[in-house]
Homo-oligomer: A and B are copies of this chain.
Amino acid sequence: MSAQMSIDIAAYMRQVCQEARAASRAIAAAGTGVKSAALQAIARELGRDREKLKAANRIDMAAAESKGIDQPLIDRLLLDDNAIDRMIEGVLKVDALKDPIGQISDLAYQANGLQIGRMRVPLGVIGIIYESRPNVTADAASLCLKSGNACVLRGGTEAFESNKAIARAIDVALTGVGLPPAVVQLVSTTDRAAVGELLIQDEYVDVIVPRGGSGLIERITRESRIPVIKHLDGICHVYIDDDADVPMAVAIAVNSKTEKYAVCNAVETLLVAQSIAARVLPELGARFEQAGVELRGCAKTRSFLPNATPAVESDWTTEYLAPILAVKVVAGLDEAISHINRHGSQHTDAIVTSNLANTRRFMTEVDSASVMVNTSTQFADGFEYGLGAEVGISTNKLHARGPVGLEGLTTQKYVVYGNGEIRHR
């Protein structure tokens, strides 16, 4: 890429972000009705543009196939009638959510006579960087719009034509309801330099949300001058406590692993209390063998399951995203909690127990975004948590932790109502 080109991309990205900042004032001040009309219009335009969307997607699909891109990525890229229906449904679901903006909480009088509370407000401008799924364009735009934010969307190169077609429909919809089209902007270049330029627009962009593999997220975290709501590893645990109900423990351990392998909320390490190991491990061994899951066990685990591969230290810190499960027999709750806090990724961890005291300790002491008792880690997502929709799952501790819905795209400001009070220090 020539120096001239790079200057152009810098100037282009700066302008995109500057326009987003200006548009963010309009969408922040827009009422619930206007935002609803915009979302309804987006759904309608996507329906109207169905054939255009499919035609644009065929260009992306043909290019991907000619490049010999692997099948899972091609599957994610496909925008057929079914995918378009689900995309439209997604927009309408976001419209149906309660508007978080303007909600005032904790409004109360203070001794100084002032009435003080906190108002939920948009963050401003959100930069979203994602990979191959074109439906993210509509999803992310809807969530940002509903939460009163402008957004700058940088989609994957493979989905460029599909994303442009979706963005055009959104543009028509926004204009139709009198909102500035810069409320939702798609970056109109596939040059990789655009990402780097986006990450330094801290004057105009308030937060970056990356959606993609850990390579993408690590690069973004390293380069960004803007706070990142990020999702790193999901090294999730299920701990079967001394007092677990055995059939429940088996069902939860199996479901947490096998319901879907390539998801961040799949269990990667199973911890079993020594006193219950003899009652659960043989059955679990059989169930996992049947499901084709490779077990990697500690020495004690292998005394019950001789066919298990011997686990090595790195097994306790690996996100397999595959039919592999590390298994460790622990002395009890204390060892389970310290194993999780030491080796886990603070994503989602579950205990199976009927003991109340152990439940309270696990829920309090395990330092993860989601802590669960007597259920499958696979439930950890925004839809199951009742958020209605999610922009991702955060492994950050600050601001938004766990599934991030509309609220994670907002902040709170203090509102202070007085009647002429002045301060005497």
Contact = CB atoms under 8 A, between A and B. Distances in A.
Contact of A371 (B368, B415, B424): B415
A289 interface: no
A414 B348 CA distance: 9
Copies per complex?
2
B227 A415 contact: no
A274 interface: no
B367 A110 contact: no
A372 B245 contact: no
A314 B406 CA distance: 38
B420 A375 contact: yes
A121 interface: yes
A88 interface: no
Contacts of A252: 420, 422
A384 B114 contact: yes
A28 B367 contact: yes
Contacts of A259: 422-425
Contacts of A286: none
A379 B423 contact: yes
Contacts of A245: 420
A369 interface: yes
Contacts of A281: none
Nearest to A116: B385
A40 interface: no
Given A102-B364, A364-B29, A386 B110 contact: yes
Contact of A376 (B374, B379, B422): B422
A425 B265 CA distance: 13
A374 B418 contact: yes
A424 B260 CA distance: 9
A268 to B, nearest CB: 16
Interface in A396-417: 396-399, 401-403, 411-417
A376 B28 CA distance: 26
30 contacts: A25-B365, A29-B364, A29-B365, A108-B386, A110-B384, A124-B367, A227-B398, A251-B422, A252-B422, A259-B424, A367-B413, A368-B413, A370-B415, A371-B413, A371-B414, A371-B416, A372-B416, A372-B418, A373-B417, A373-B418, A375-B416, A375-B421, A378-B422, A378-B423, A380-B416, A397-B411, A398-B411, A401-B411, A402-B413, A402-B414
Interface of A: 25, 28-29, 102, 108, 110, 112, 114, 116, 119, 121, 123-124, 206-207, 227, 245, 248, 251-252, 255, 259-260, 338, 341, 350, 361, 363-365, 367-376, 378-380, 384-386, 396-399, 401-403, 411-425
Given A102-B364, A378-B423, A397-B411, 13 more contacts: A29-B365, A123-B397, A124-B397, A248-B420, A252-B420, A255-B422, A369-B414, A371-B414, A372-B418, A375-B420, A378-B425, A379-B416, A385-B414
